[in-house]
Amino acid sequence: MLLVVAAEERELAGADGARTLVCGVGPVDAAARTATALAETRPSAVLHVGIAGARTFDGAALVVGTEAVYCDADDPRWVVLRTPADETLVERVRRVLPDARVEPIGTSARVGGTSGCDVEAMEGFAVLRAAALAGVPAVEVRAVSNEIDEPDRGRWRFEEARMLLASALPALVEELARA
């Protein structure tokens, strides 16, 4: 069974037929709710989806995360700051989304809080880390909606990004739900 995880219900549009989880916004709720769901349901895989910002923005685009990078604890004393996506899932997602960007996705609890990654979101590391600790393969797919440093939120394209994600989700769910 595939578990599709997103911060908000609207980001799950198109995930019909899959088990879904609204994990909440930010890394704390995402980690707690995902860990609970993993313990209760024991899925075979996790697909984490949502919208994101990027340092370079030329319109809404899909991004497949090769790893989730936790940027709020950028300190060498921390052991785990990166959680790789499952390579097999990344390859399966790439078959479905051949034109998607493929790169690391940074996680921060605040807009503009990442470094070293072009794409930034708020829950990816928490979801992928919870899955890794539970031994469940996981991958993150984001739809970029805005330039991170754009101060005018009216220029952010949330709906366009959500529609792009919703159009990709049926094929992603079909591919990843297969054993």
- pLDDT for the residue numbered 77: 67
Residue 133 predicted with pLDDT over 60 = yes
State residue 104 phi and psi, 5-degree precision: -65, 150
Q: How many degrees, rounded to 5, is the angle at CA 166 between CA 164 and CA 172? A: 105
How many Cβ atoms from other residues are within 10 Å of residue 113's Cβ? 15
- Please tell me the distance from the alpha carbon of residue 58 to that of residue 41, in angstroms, as a whole number: 39
CB of 107 within 8 A of CB of 72? yes
Query: pLDDT-based confidence at 2, cuts 50/70/90?
Result: very high
Measured CA to CA in angstroms, residue 29 lies from 39, 113, 123, 124, 125 at distances of 15, 18, 8, 12, 12
- Look at the chain and report how many structural domains it folds into: 1
Task: Give the range among 113-117, 141-145, 159-163 with minimum mean pLDDT.
Answer: 113-117
**Residues of the domain holding 149:** 2-177
Instruction: Kindly tell me the burial class for residue 111, based on how many C-beta atoms sit within 10 Å of its own C-beta (0-12, 13-18, 19 or more).
Output: middle
The pLDDT, as a whole number, for residue 82 is 87
Helix (H) or strand (E) segment spanning residue 114: none
Q: What is the CATH number of the domain that holds 58?
A: 3.40.50.1580
Cα 9 to its chain centre, rounded Å, is 14
Q: How confident is the model at residue 80 (pLDDT cuts 50, 70, 90)?
A: low
